[in-house]
Amino acid sequence: MSIVSQIGPRPEALPQDLLAIDIAAKLHMDSHATALVSTDFGGLTQAAPAAVFYPSSPHDIGVLVQFSYSSSRPFTVAPRGHGHSVRGQAFAPDGVVIDMASLGHGRTDRIIVHSDDSPFRYVDAGGEQLWIDVLHAALDHGLAPPSWTDYLHLTVGGTLSNGGVSGQAFRHGPQISNVYELDVVTGKGEMVTCSRDDNSELFYAVLGGLGQFGIITRARIGLEPAPQRVRWVRLIYDDFGEFTRDQERLITMISASKEMQKKGRGFDYVEGSVLVADGSLIGSWRVSRPRHPTELESSLDFLLQQCATPRQAKQIHAQLLSSSAFHHPHSAYISARLVSVYGRLGLHPDAHSVFRASPDRRSSLLWNSILRANLARGHSLEALSLYHEMRALGALPEGFTFPLVIRACAALGVPRLCSSVHNHTVSMGFQGHLHVANELIIMYGNIGRMDLARQVFDAMPLRNVVSWNTLISGCSRNHDCEAAQNIFRLMESTGFEPNPVTWTALLSAHARCRRHDEVIGLFDKMRAKGVKATAEAVAVALSVYPYVCSAALEKGKEMHSFAIRSGLEAYAFVKNSLICMYGKLGDREDAERLFSETAVKDSVSWNALISSYAAAGLSSEAYEIFARMEKTREFTPNVVSWSAVIGGFASDGMVEHSLELFRQMQQAGVAPNSVTVATVLSACAELSALRSGKELHGHSIRGLMDHNLLVANGLLNMYTKSGSLREGQSVFNRMEDKDLISWNSMIAGYGVHGFCDQALGAFSDMVRAGCEPDGITFIALLSACGHSGRVSQGRRLFDQMVDEYKIPPCVEHYSCMVDLLGRAGLLGEARLLVECMPMKPNACVWGALLNSCRIYGNTAAAEDTMARVLGLEAQATGNYMLLSNIYAACGRWEDSARVRVMTKVKGLKKSPGQSWIEVKSSVHAFSAGSALPPGAEDVYEVLEDLYQHMESDKFALDGPLLQVVVQGDWAVD
């Protein structure tokens, strides 16, 4: 028999527009992928496809077949199950082979047993599923198929396409006689459900049709009660024909005897082994090791893909070592597969051990697998180090290596490093590679350089839908929904059809820009256009309901109902989004109910509940869930879990808890990311914990995070709020890319420290740099002018904000202006501004005016203002204290005492003023009359020494004011 062979894949044999459809990313054209599907089971024929397709759903298969059917350049499409087809049935020379096994990757819903009490019991099994797995799933319910294949490691779709004849066929008929219903992808790409009653012609044509009439993606197979015990008889023959005749005779003879059947002594199945001349057994092939390298790779490929636990992976690893599989010519592929499995299961040391022990260290496939394993663990620096080692050994990177290297640089977020890797891809000649260019777009989007992302996009010689989607996603990540919308329109005008991923990216862009109502509108528009709502799109829509102003919970429940009707609620990330939505809306009952109903909880499920409670201000409840997660020992809190509880305590004002949790996080060996560091820096800023902030700064430098924009802004805020303006300036000056938050933080820092000129200079630099100011910018500027008495400058800035930048003044702006005028003694003008405000003044505005009355001792104005304040904040003790101090400063002691008595009558108590000091990275808080914390004696010694110096320098305090301040009930900082 002749052997037909081809040198390798020819991607040019496929039409180029195939790469423009939304499933193109699942096509693999590398020689390693095509080699696995180029040889039949017997090793008699070879034919290389142009590509291998790894679908994630039957819909993907339909899209591919439909494209081939309608294309001006049709190509062969052939499904491949577990690689047991013979005579080229699963070949697609210069076409596309569909790897059916990928349908079941990570899915638990591809085998569903229906085992109710009715006589009609069955199992729905995906066409890619193995009979061994179908049998085990059925046996868990006490059921079994009446007939199955002799060798259980064959696929359902493959055997049914070939009739499914086995040793049980003599009594129970072939497997196809026990099939009730099929889901089939036809030659036109249509997805059709057929049975004996519906589309019966297709049903009977597909069963036993050798794959010529359709691709089976689901089969409904009848089940019956499994026997409690079986008899196993094995006969040894030296003639195969004699064995088959005896097999048929035994089954039919005993089956015909009613008496034997009543006694339960009938045979359902007879297995035999044929002894041939060399002493080997033909019937023992099911337990023998594959002899052909391609057969070995195919078997191992399947087994490794099915590994779900570390124990299974190590068992296969041990079998590989005993079979000398690492020493044949295809060992690099086997090593790469094993590295990938260990990486997926989180067994990082084992992945590295396999990688280091591989005899073929020049295979790009092996290097790609270890790079991918490191990136999955967040070890970006180690991935880059490995890439340098790869180059030093002379191993050549290829088109699938560079996206991994680019991803590592993007994860580090260092702009200079990102620019270097881009230049490197150009020097290596990969700038036009589709996957490389797409990854570069993602990288630049991650570091906020959408201008460079657009340059890469515009220079691409070939684009696909993924290219458009990554560009829109980059705009989304950078909160630029206008740009995302414009690119979406351009995509449509150039002939590319937006797919569900495109719509999801657009929805995400508007969600990040807090255009919550527009997200709901776009979601409705997407459905009106006939685009099927994906689980991802539903998850984005659910994320905005906590921020919708009216009837948020009611509307969220409507979307929940839609998810149930669409069959999307079962998706893990949809359920997690529902948990988040209910948690953020304060509906703890529904949030915990959905969490408890989640059959397979993972770390994301726990994090959804923790983060939603933290965002709703329920930091203590969030920590309780966090503690429950730790106690389960099934999941270890990861960086997201820690960041959520740390951020929750920080948002609720319990910053000491945040710092303590951060220290516990480090002790637990969990590496913080940029979000964690920025959150803890914010807590340090609130406490003025400069030493802890500096330690975090050092940590961020060691982790190459100090150039990350989020971290850099956190450092700037921490230093300026902790009184270390010089270090803040240093951080600001080193920032390569400054955003609006950076400029606002620096301007506010100058203002707080009384450097109004520098704040105004920074504002001028900001405008020259092309950064558009916002309302917060002007709050910082007006506050700086107020603390420096720059009334004229403050007025000009207020007018500039309204006239030039079209920013409508809010209450905070008016509060700053009232404070500015009041501090300058212009109480009448300040009062007039309050009365002319377009919105109702709040307590902050009146409080600013009241404070100005205190400064200038204007008791008449203070009494009138106090009446307004009490109308808004009748229970605020601080306002009474301020009025009492105003009376005392003017010598009106009786009025001062009357105010104090009034607060006691009303039952108002002043929260004791607290001060804190940082000692050896620990923050100690203390207040008047509290127990002395450790080390407080030393603090008071220093204070006493300062007091003696003040006395010697004849430092004078206002006597009456001192008399009020030192009274126990009114001790102030």
Q: Measured between alpha carbons, how far is 134 from 124 in angstroms, rounded to an integer? A: 9
Q: Which of 175, 84, 172, 171 is nearest to 125 (CA)?
A: 175
The helix/strand count (H/E) of the chain reads as 46, 15
| Residues 333 and 354 sit within 8 Å (Cβ to Cβ) | no
Is residue 774 among the annotated active site residues?
no
> Do 521 and 485 touch, CB atoms closer than 8 A?
no
Residue 699 annotated to the active site: no
Q: Residue 716 has which token pair?
A: 């700037």
Please report, for residues 133, 229, 240, the alpha-carbon distance to residue 232 in angstroms, rounded to integers and kept in the order given.
Answer: 21, 10, 19
Alpha-carbon distance of 931 to 875, in angstroms, equals 28
Name 628's Cβ contacts closer than 8 Å, sequence gap at least 6.
none
> Measured between alpha carbons, how far is 582 from 586 in angstroms, rounded to an integer?
6
From 59, 105, 141, 150, active-site residue = 150
Computed from CA positions of residues 276, 278, 283, 285, in that sequence, does the dihedral angle turn out positive or negative?
negative
Helix 709-721 with 674-687: angle, nearest 10 deg: 10
User: Cα Rg for the chain, rounded, in angstroms?
Assistant: 36
Q: Which amino acid is at 702?
A: R
Q: Rounded to whole angstroms, what are the CA distances from 47 to 73, 157, 394, 888?
A: 20, 22, 31, 99
* Contact criterion met (CB below 8 Å) for 477 and 443: no
Q: What string of H, E and C letters represents the secondary structure of 511-524?
A: HHCCCHHHHHHHHH
- Cα–Cα distance between 511 and 537 in angstroms, integer? 11
Q: What share of the chain is helix, strand, coil (3-state, %, to 5)?
A: 60, 5, 35
Q: Which of 82, 84, 352, 379 is catalytic?
A: 84
Tell how far CA 937 is from the center of its chain. 50
Residue carrying structure tokens 């790079």: 371
**Sign of the CA dihedral with 770 first, then 776, 778, and 782 last:** negative
Report the C-alpha gap between 288 and 926 in whole angstroms. Answer: 76
CA 463-468-470 angle, to 5 degrees, is 110
907 SS3 class: coil
Place of tokens 């009594």: 171
Q: Where are the alpha helices (DSSP H) in 307-414?
A: 310-322, 331-344, 348-357, 364-376, 380-392, 402-412
For the residues of 329-359, what is the DSSP string, one character each?
TTHHHHHHHHHHHHHHTT-HHHHHHHHHH-S
- Indicate the Cα dihedral angle 353, 354, 360, 362, nearest 10°: -70
Measured distance CA(339)–CA(747) in Å, rounded: 51
Length of the chain: 973
Among residues 190, 246, 271, 863, which one is catalytic? Answer: 271
Q: Which two tokens stand for residue 743?
A: 């400029």
Dist CA 349 CA 841 (whole Å): 63
Annotated active-site residue 84? The verdict is yes
Contact 217, 183 (CB under 8 A): yes
DSSP letter at 47 equals: -
Query: Taking the CB of residue 307, how many other CB atoms lie within 10 A of it?
Result: 20
- Distance, in Å, from the CA atom of 943 to the CA atom of 931, rounded to the nearest integer, reads 17
Amino acid at 185: V
Point out the residues that are catalytic: 84, 150, 271
